[in-house]
Amino acid sequence: MRKERPRNQAIGWLIIVGLACSGLLLLYKGLGGREALPVGIPEPLSLPDIPPADRPVKAMPQRPVQPGSGIFSADKPESTSGSDANAHCSGCDVILITVCSLRKDHLGAYGFPGDVSPSVDALAKSGVRFNRAYSASNFTLASLTAILTGRYGSATGVTGWDKGLTKDVPTLAEVLGNYGYRTGAFTTDAPSGFRPDYGLNRGFQHMEITNPPRNSPDGRFRGGAKEPLGTVTKPAVKWLNNQSSGDPVFMMLHTRTAHFPFVVDPPKEGEDPTGMRTLLWEAGQSDAEERQNRPMPGMAGGTAQEGVVEIVRQDPLQVRVNQLGTAATDVWKETYAESVARMDVDVAEILSAVAKRGRRTLIVLVADHGESLNDHGELLHGDAFFDGVINVPLIFSVPGLSGATGQRDMLVSQVDIVPTVLQLVGAVIPAGVDGVSLVPQLQGSPEPAHHLILSEGGVAKMEDGILPGAVISDPWVLIKQRRGCGMGMGHTKGAVDEGMPLCLFNHETDPGQNRSLAGLEQDVVADLLSRWKGYRTAHGRIGEHRELSDAFIQELQRSGYDFSKGAP
């Protein structure tokens, strides 16, 4: 076990106060505050070099990011403050469930016809589900960073696997810890970025990274009998059961049960004429057999690596799907739905533990991102920004909050989770967050939370500050990505920025994003692009560099990121 001492409490509060004072202007200039819905930020025609933060945190020499399991502890703050007793959920437990690669349209609560998600559906029935929630990125690390900080990738600098969170950006766990919360985080050893190497352990007094169980896609080659479904939640449930009922807790579980390659068993003879189940089962098998169990290394990062290698060839599985056609895509989707059903048991175990604990509990469930499932010619995620990947499920269950049931159709973002949770429990929202509290919307207000939100970053190496992403401002979705606009290019002639194609879709008339209007609506494209670049100019920073070990790159490859060579 590795001990890490948190900041002195008094220094922590001085930092928060300083951020509050210096960040007031940013609250009005940014994308978040309701007083700033017409985004009043500069609108340059081209993006200048984005400097680091005014007071950059000096990176210490550290080891490269490594895979591995371990338990990491930090002392709780020596002194804490009481939350606002008049807040609706003052003293409530807070449970945050983040689900890797979960598509919204594969949940019953969002219209999936099969009975694959009864636990998630029950949670949605007890609370509010948002239909137009967008992830802050198309891959896990950047999305989890946004979920835990309330800031877009440009504002934290975490837009690729080679970037980590700087120490001057407060996290949800840090803030809640200052209000007396016991904080715990749980996940499995896999390339999610939810580990100390990237700074996402900050504020968690207990972080536990366990080996993936045999009965999961990540652990399918571990050998031995398969464990019961939901085994991935056992450390989290045990920790929760051991916490005093007199102290509020903040617990976060990041589950990868629905992640590629979806399967936990090889296909039976004759089960799959397409051979796709066999390909999924065998994905990364040779690497997994060579891997040894290793203890989790210490903190890593602080090197000058510029990024993960550029993706220069198509995923071999994508090539096979293209060759086999619809039949192969159907099998791919079937295996994905099966993995969602297994993931639902994870949620059931957590909900059962919450009920057993018997305290008032605020529960948030959100996907870090979705999965393409061969929409627009992409099977997985990390490259494109179509809605199948970035329009994610977001569910709030708030005990006793008037009007907090049903569905909401306004535009919201992952960055709204931090301010919403903090307002509900009566904690001060840090200055500089991009999100806004959704409490009025939870209570039934039809007012928009945002007029514009962002999704940024990606898994491939990018040079010279070039950043792919999406700008969403109803009814428009502007996408900037290397792979172009999908199967139906539409009117895209001349729509390029920094060498990347620009795609523009009207969400109201083309929800499937099949026809880009970038060539016809050039004024809309210019306006949205300018507002995005203006935000980056006003708020942008460079995250702490992370060097990736060969072992971590191999783990990324086994998870579906098909890099053609190692790190530069």
- pLDDT tens column, 310-323: 444 456 677 777 78
Give, as one character, the DSSP assignment of residue 198: G
Residue 32 confidence (pLDDT):
41
Q: How many CB atoms lie within 10 A of CB 521?
A: 18
Residue among 221, 199, 202, 232 nearest 100 (CA): 232
Query: CA 141, CA 319: separation in Å to the nearest integer?
Result: 27
- Name the band, by pLDDT with cuts 50, 70 and 90, for residue 3: very low
- As given in the structure block, the two tokens for residue 249 are 């807790």
Tens of pLDDT, residues 172-220: 999 999 999 999 999 998 877 788 888 899 999 999 999 999 999 989 9
- As given in the structure block, the two tokens for residue 348 are 């059931």
Looking at per-residue confidence, does 68 or 143 come out higher?
143
Tens of pLDDT, residues 70-84: 899 999 998 888 899
Residue among 189, 184, 237 nearest 213 (CA): 189
Residue 53 confidence (pLDDT):
37
Residue 45 confidence (pLDDT):
29
Residue 287 confidence (pLDDT):
42
Strand partners, 188: 210
Find the DSSP H helices in 23-138: 24-29, 118-126
Tens of pLDDT, residues 357-410: 999 999 999 999 999 888 877 776 667 899 999 999 999 999 999 999 999 999
- Name the band, by pLDDT with cuts 50, 70 and 90, for residue 544: low
